[in-house]
Amino acid sequence: MPNNKFGIHILFPGELETAAKLVNSSGGDWGYVTIPLQSDDRNLEKWQKFMDDAKQLHLIPIIRLATYPVSNYWLKPTLDDAVDFANFLNSLSWPVKNRYIILFNEPNEAKEWGYSVKPDEYAEFSNHAIDIFKTRNSEFYLLNAGLDASLPNSAQSMDEYLYMKLMNNSVPGIFGKFDGFNSHSYPNPNFSSHPFNIDRYGIHSFEKELNFIQNTFGVFGKKVFITETGWNNEVLDNDTISMYFQTAYRDVWNKEYIVAVTPFLLSAGGGPFAKFSWTSPSYEPLPVFNKIQKIAKIKGQPSLSENLNPASIKIEEQSNWSAQKTGMWNSTSRKWIKNILNFLTGQ
């Protein structure tokens, strides 16, 4: 199908309209947005509105699952979390047929996986999580967590290639089980290398990773999703960053097997991610936003969801335990709870 691979990573559902102005510009349609969904933020009304807005704005969601931070690390997910996420996300009406899901984030860094580096655990978790999601709906499209390609072997991190090898040792064929391959292809060192830097730490890292799973595990034909990338505006000026992105889209990310490129980040608002932001804290476009907005794009034609029109779903408050727990009780909520009961009873 014709595919508009332009996308952007956002942090909040309210950023969809700004994202659409970027990725669906200059002839484009049905671009992508990557957004994290935390386990303590499964609010049905909020996320159904997100899906409804994405449908209206012609945006394809890529949902990155997350837990929540504890002290200076992210809590390690459990299979119960996988069940809850699968049931929750299956209860939503999506804008397109493919329901893209990323199973968490950079687990080769300890602080991203319960302050431990356990490739065997991540492989086993992913193996079961894929089954859980597919049991609910075959339209879920599961992606591996993007790995940090710049990390060394240490007490708190692991080289991504060793990590992938140990994943496959624990669950042989695990990379064949994922529907596609997710990469964090940053321009390292220091998020500032030239787009033509072809070593394993630059934006060509997705090619090295893909070659590795092909040559080492015999996994061929995977589509690639680059869900994080970006240059450091504390090191490079805006004009250079804009030029690097234009070069990357034209000469590096032009491969047919790349489905989406969602640079990090539309808006940081401030803090440590401000060096990657494409807008000011008030969402005023920075030069890189304006330059990429002007690049000619394709009108994507994804297969649309056959779900009931979300606008016809009426959310009603009820004074029972489920209303207290979810704030609503409707046909979608009943389906969600029915799925949980079916899972627990093995039906």
> Token pair of 335, please?
């389906």
> Token pair of 73, please?
């690390």
Q: Is 263 exposed, middle or buried (0-12, 13-18, 19+ CB in 10 A)?
A: buried
What pLDDT score does 335 carry? Answer: 45
* Residues ≥6 apart with Cβ < 8 Å to 309: 93
Sign of CA dihedral 14, 90, 341, 68: negative
CA distance 234 to 250: 24
What pLDDT score does 306 carry? Answer: 82
Asked if 96 and 305 touch (Cβ cutoff 8 Å), the reply is: yes
Asked if 268 and 262 touch (Cβ cutoff 8 Å), the reply is: no
Main-chain phi, psi angles of 330, to 5 degrees = -145, -175
What pLDDT score does 333 carry? Answer: 40
**In this structure, how many other beta carbons lie within 10 angstroms of the beta carbon of residue 272?**
7
How are strands ordered across the β-sheet holding 59-66?
7-9, 31-38, 59-66, 99-102, 140-143
Main-chain phi, psi angles of 282, to 5 degrees = -95, 15
> What residues does 38 pair with on adjacent strands?
66
- CA-to-CA dists, residue 180 to 138, 141, 144, 260, 330, angstroms: 14, 8, 8, 11, 34
- The helix (H) or strand (E) run that includes residue 161 is helix 160-170
Q: Is 251 exposed, middle or buried (0-12, 13-18, 19+ CB in 10 A)?
A: exposed
CA distance 236 to 239: 8
Please write down the HEC assignment for all residues of 28-96: CECEEEEEEEECCCCCHHHHHHHHHHHHHHCEEEEEEEECCEECCEECCCCHHHHHHHHHHHHCCCCCE
What pLDDT score does 15 carry? Answer: 98
DSSP-derived 3-state class of residue 322: helix
- CA-to-CA dists, residue 198 to 8, 90, 93, 194, 208, angstroms: 23, 40, 41, 9, 9
What pLDDT score does 307 carry? Answer: 64
Q: Is 128 exposed, middle or buried (0-12, 13-18, 19+ CB in 10 A)?
A: middle
Q: What domains sit in the chain, N to C, each tagged with a CATH number?
A: 7-308 (3.20.20.80), 314-347 (no CATH)
What pLDDT score does 270 carry? Answer: 87
CA distance 101 to 98: 9
What pLDDT score does 183 carry? Answer: 98
DSSP symbols for 109-144: BGGGTTT---HHHHHHHHHHHHHHHHHH-TTEEEEP
Task: Measure the CA angle with vertex 336, ends 180 and 58; round to 5°.
Answer: 50
What pLDDT score does 311 carry? Answer: 37
Q: Any idea how long the chain is? A: 347
Mean pLDDT per 10-residue segment, the chain (347 residues) = 97 98 98 98 98 98 98 97 98 98 98 98 98 98 98 98 98 98 98 96 98 98 98 97 98 98 96 96 96 98 76 34 35 42 41
> Token pair of 25, please?
């510009």
DSSP-derived 3-state class of residue 182: strand
Nearest to 65 by CA among 56, 54, 78: 78
Asked if 197 and 205 touch (Cβ cutoff 8 Å), the reply is: no
